[in-house]
Structure formats: C-alpha cells, structure tokens
Amino acid sequence: MIKGLKDLLDVKIMLIVAAFFTVLTFLSSQTQVNSKVLTGAVFTEGIEGPCVDKNGDLYLVNFHHEGSIGVIKKGKKTPQLFIDLPKGSIGNGIRFNAKNEMFVADYLGHNILKIDLMTKKISVYAHDSLMNQPNDLTMMKNGIIFCSDPSWKNGNGKLWRVNVDGSTHLLSDSMGTTNGIEVSADNKSLYVNESVQRNIWKFDIDSLGNISNKTLFISFSDGGMDGMRCDSKGNLYVARYDKGCVLKISAEGKILYAYNLHGQKPTNIAFSKDEKKLFVTMQDKK
C-alpha cells in the first residue's frame, strides 16, 4: 500500500513556478516531511534539470526564458539568471562531475554542453547527429554520462553513453520513450524510465559503463514519469508526471511512499547535499 502525505506526520513542499519549484524537507525521518513552495512563476513551462553543485547551489534550466539557466544560491530563496546558452540551444537535464563542472543536455542542438562555473565558458562536450533530442542525464562517479533520448513523435527512444573523452556510444535504439535516468549510489545499477509505456528498467553497469541484464524494475497502469534520483541508501525517487506526486521506491522495487505535491506535473527532482531536502520542478501549481 502506498503511504500518502495525508498519512505523514508533518509535510512541507517548495515549488518553482509556472513552472513552480517545490521542496520536500525531510525531518527526523522520511515519515516526517515539510512541504513548501520555494518560488513563484519565474521559470517557463520548460522548467527542468534541477541539480545541486558541490557548494550547495541549485541550478535549473529555462529561467524567465527558454535557453537560459537559473541558479538559487545556497541559503537564498530568490533565483537569478546564471547564463544564457548559445543561440539554438535549450537545456534539459543538468549534472555535475567531481570537478564541479556542469554538463547540460541540449536537446535542440543534439549536444551535451560543458560549462565552467567560474568563467562561464560553454563548450560542446559531446555531439551526435543521430540523437533525437538529448533529454536527461546521469553520471557515474568516474565521469561517464548516460543520456536518455526520446522521440515523442514516434513513441520510442534511445539510450546513450558519453565517455570521459566526449565520445558517444549508442547503448540501445529500441526502447520506449526514454526520459528519467539515474545511476544508483553504488554505481552498479542504471535506471531508465519510459514515460509513455510507463516502465522503469534496471540495468547492471560495470566500471566502463557497459550495460547488461535488462530487467523490468516496476511499471504503472496510468500517469507518466519524468526525472528520477537515487538517495545514498539505494532508494529511487520518481517524479510522476500528471499524477502529482514523487514516489520513493526501494532497490527491490517496492513503493515505500507517495509524496503529494502542489500540482500535477512534476518534471524533475534533485536532492540537497545532505539529502534533507528534495527539490521538485513543477509545470503547474494548485
């Protein structure tokens, strides 16, 4: 049985709007959660890609206008413009490597962009014309990137690996609409969801980023899925688009909690450095 917020002791959510932005603050245990709206309608409906850098600053794409990246500095509540991407580029997923370098999925340009936070220099880290539209990213501790690549028009998608030298490798070209993607904390498993087909697949991965043993982790009969994150204990958190919640799922595929949100369309999620807060980007607010 899914445990909803009405069953929790205390709940708080923060949203970033018009995309909104929501924050779930975990208290003494994950059965105690505060819910609070963090921002007003300052992002476009393309709000996506929340990711926290090593300093605790939170970055998100499409601040005020598409093709931009906004930042909410640690300890602050007001987002501000960080950078505009090159003309013809619109970001989606964001990840940081061990050097605190930013990587952004540029779905219009078929690129993975690399951004130096200090100089704000933007470079093309990886490019492949065979990509549909690079969507979300996840990264192993050694810097290997995995990228989901959906074709919404055709109802299918691809799965890519981007090696540390920026070269691309197509891992699968026969999946459903690949969207949310995440590497487990121990770097032994890769989770990939298919939004239209409502499946989450689990792969084994080795240190070189090779995948094997594809198994169905969990599936749903309604709603959609978007971004995903793992916590340090191995649990997977899934944004349920059109269902208005974030699910916490154990490594064994058991649904542990359903955290209800201030809207029906969560697009992505990210943890604070201490995992006491879960940031949720929203396309709507109720």
pLDDT of residue 282: 85
Compute the chain's Rg from CA coordinates. Answer: 17
pLDDT digits (tens, 9 = 90+) for 211-261: 999 999 999 999 999 999 999 999 999 999 999 889 999 999 999 998 888
Categorize the per-residue pLDDT at 263 as very low, low, confident or very high, splitting at 50, 70 and 90: confident
Each residue's pLDDT tens digit, 130-175 = 999 999 999 999 999 999 999 999 999 999 999 999 999 999 999 9
Contact 102, 59 (CB under 8 A): yes
By residue count, the chain amounts to 286
| pTM score, whole prediction | 0.89
Task: Report how far residue 268's alpha carbon sits from residue 238's, in angstroms, rounded to the nearest whole number.
Answer: 8
For tokens 């087909």, the residue is: 197
Which residue type sits at 256? L
Domains of the chain, with CATH numbers?
131-239+247-256 (2.120.10.30)
Angle ∠(261,105,193) on CA atoms, nearest 5: 50
Please state, in angstroms and rounded to a whole number, the distance separating the CA atoms of residues 139 and 185. 10
Cα–Cα distance measured from residue 276 to residue 240, given in angstroms and rounded to the nearest whole number: 20
Sorted by sequence, the CB contacts under 8 Å of residue 107 that are 6+ apart come out as 90, 91, 92, 133, 134, 135
**CA separation for the pair 134, 147 (Å, rounded):** 6
**76-132 confidence digits (pLDDT tens):** 878 899 999 999 999 999 999 999 999 999 999 999 999 999 999 999 999 999 999
Q: What pLDDT was estimated at residue 151?
A: 94
Please report where in the chains the tokens 């962009």 appear, as a residue.
113
Confidence of residue 35 (pLDDT cuts 50, 70, 90): low
User: Helix (H, G, I), strand (E, B), or coil: what is residue 34?
Assistant: strand
Q: How confident is the model at residue 27 (pLDDT cuts 50, 70, 90)?
A: very low
**What tens digit of pLDDT does each residue of 65-87 get?**
889 999 999 988 788 999 999 99
- Pairwise CA distance, residues 205 & 2, whole Å: 29
